């Protein structure tokens, strides 16, 4: 699959450059700008919990995934066409699948989208805090969760940075996608931890916040009787803590029977909203029917109702 990336970049360098970002007929000439890279982290809804359907197997060749793990169908550090599942062989459809497709509907034809996907079912946000990761991983008890973190040598943050630096050799990191919160997004402390993680990623990869926005997706909401809907007031306030962070609404995104994980159609809609918001932030004139928002008037509080005794792990791996 290494040849796939080389062929995409070689084709890109043959194209001319234009300044108007509103049309996918625009071309860019800087080779690194022809591969937009996005870092994707989170827990089970980022892992992906819906079985891919036949329509999901049709993937543009310009949508590629830098594998962060060794698994039966992929090798760590190698690019592959982003056929789901993206996280690991035994996972499912996730928002990133349709984020990438949506981006490519509007980006110049010589631009590819590459994603790096590091996610763990059921995790708290501190697994991505490089200063708390080791202690948190050492405290994990369930065998299924231990098996997942072992894919990342028990340090998902370090693996994310390792893969991101590899991707920077050929492309440019343009954003970070986060979907996490069912476990612990019930107070401002979660927002402060996300802010630290975001800052650490920017620092460790020599990135500037204004060039690398953070998109944070809501959990299944009240309209879907979401088990973790009470995390959303906290998630919706992330822009108060990080000026370059934006909430992605889950309103109308259908869920599975457990009302924790999204159904396939819900993932498709949520992923499209991630993509449209990122395109808007890059200056593309995309219709604002995404239901994205900066924040809400509902304040998060430390004593907000929190979902407890819920199995947040991926049902594809449990069954």
pLDDT tens-digit series, residues 215-237: 999 999 999 999 999 999 999 99
- Number of domain units in the chain: 1
pLDDT value for 32: 86
pLDDT value for 31: 81
Establish if 23 belongs to a structural domain.
no
Establish if 24 belongs to a structural domain.
no
For residue 30, pLDDT over 90 is answered with no
Q: If 0-12 CB within 10 Å is exposed, 13-18 middle and 19+ buried, where does residue 14 land?
A: exposed
For residue 244, pLDDT over 70 is answered with yes
Query: Poorest-confidence range of 12-21, 35-44, 132-141, 259-268?
Result: 12-21
Establish if 20 belongs to a structural domain.
no
Q: Catalytic site residues?
A: 44, 258, 261
Domain with 111 in it: what CATH number? 3.40.50.1110
Q: How many C-beta atoms lie closer than 10 Å to residue 241's C-beta?
A: 16
pLDDT value for 287: 82
Establish if 42 belongs to a structural domain.
yes
Q: What is the mean pLDDT of the chain?
A: 88
Establish if 119 belongs to a structural domain.
yes
Give bridge partners of residue 193 from the DSSP assignment. none
* 3 state SS of 168: helix
pLDDT value for 176: 98
The DSSP-derived string for 257-287 is: TTSSSBPHHHHHHHHHHHHHHHHHHTT----
Establish if 19 belongs to a structural domain.
no
Give the pLDDT confidence of 105-146 residue by residue, as tens digits.
999 999 999 999 999 999 999 999 999 999 999 999 999 999
Angstrom distance (rounded) from CA 103 to CA 49: 22
Residue partners of 296: CB distance under 8 A and separation at least 6: 233, 236, 237
pTM of this prediction?
A: 0.88
Establish if 254 belongs to a structural domain.
yes
Establish if 22 belongs to a structural domain.
no
Angstrom distance (rounded) from CA 260 to CA 230: 12
Query: Poorest-confidence range of 196-200, 235-239, 305-309?
Result: 305-309
Read off the pLDDT band of 28 (50, 70, 90).
low
Residue 232 domain boundaries: 2-14+29-318
Report the share of the chain in percent with pLDDT over 70.
81
């Amino acid at each position: 699959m290494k040849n796939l990336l080389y062929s995409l970049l070689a084709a890109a360098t043959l194209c001319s450059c234009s300044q108007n970002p509103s049309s996918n007929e625009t071309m860019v000439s800087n080779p690194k700008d022809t591969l937009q890279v996005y870092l994707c982290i989170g827990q089970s809804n980022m892992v992906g919990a819906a079985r891919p359907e036949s329509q999901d197997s049709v993937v543009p060749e310009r949508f590629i995934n830098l594998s962060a793990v060794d698994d039966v169908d992929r090798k760590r550090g190698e690019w592959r066409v982003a056929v789901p599942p993206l996280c690991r062989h035994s996972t499912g459809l996730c928002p990133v699948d349709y984020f990438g497709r949506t981006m490519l509907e509007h980006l110049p034809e010589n631009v590819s989208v590459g994603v790096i996907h590091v996610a763990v079912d059921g995790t708290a946000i501190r697994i991505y805090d490089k200063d708390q990761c080791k202690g948190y991983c050492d405290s994990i008890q369930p065998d299924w969760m231990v098996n997942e973190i072992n894919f990342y040598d028990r340090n998902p943050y370090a693996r994310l940075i390792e893969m991101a630096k590899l991707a920077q050799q050929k492309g440019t990191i343009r954003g970070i996608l986060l979907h996490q919160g069912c476990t612990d997004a019930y107070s401002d402390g979660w927002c402060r931890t996300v802010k630290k993680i975001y800052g650490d990623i920017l620092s460790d990869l020599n990135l500037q916040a204004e060039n690398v926005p953070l998109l944070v997706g809501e959990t299944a909401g009240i309209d879907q009787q979401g088990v973790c809907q009470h995390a959303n007031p906290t998630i919706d306030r992330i822009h108060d803590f990080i000026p370059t962070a934006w909430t992605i609404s889950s309103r109308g995104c259908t869920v599975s029977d457990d009302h924790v994980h999204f159904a396939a159609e819900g993932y498709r809609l949520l992923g499209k909203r991630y993509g449209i918001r990122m395109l808007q932030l890059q200056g593309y004139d995309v219709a604002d029917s995404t239901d994205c928002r900066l924040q809400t008037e509902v304040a998060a509080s430390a004593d907000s109702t929190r979902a407890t005794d819920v199995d947040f792990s991926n049902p594809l791996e449990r069954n």
